[in-house]
Amino acid sequence: FADILSRYKPDTLESYFAMRSSVMKDTPQGGALPLKFKEILYVVLDSITNNTEGAIAHARAAIKAGAKTEELAEALIIMAMLTGMPRLEVVGTKAFRAAEEEEKKKKKKKK
């Protein structure tokens, strides 16, 4: 995606990254929502759209941003109630497992 835009629409790519940088600010940097919640939203939305790689990446990012696996689990359950269990089973479970792994890494670093 970025490679194609950089060759054919570099101004669009630059605008996209500017928008993303602006919206992904954590609250201390002026964001309205904490970064961990933004990352959880990405996990939910990526799960709904069957973007497994994105859901996994954002699940790990959510944990790094301070989210707890319990918060992610609750968000995924809400998603499943609205979109059905297949969304949770297909993508959400993989994202959740990645979050669990990331949380374990984070706990080991604190020791």
Alpha-carbon radius of gyration of the chain: 15
- pLDDT at position 26: 97
Task: Give 46-55 pLDDT, tens digit per residue.
Answer: 999 999 999 9
Residue with tokens 């194609």: 4
CATH 2.60.40.10 describes domain 34-110: no
Residue 101, pLDDT above cutoff 90: yes
pTM of the predicted model as reported, rounded to 2 decimal places:
0.87
Looking at this protein, which amino acid is placed at residue 89? E
Q: What percent of the chain has pLDDT over 90?
A: 87
pLDDT on residue 36:
98
Q: pLDDT per residue over 58-72, tens digit each?
A: 999 999 999 999 999
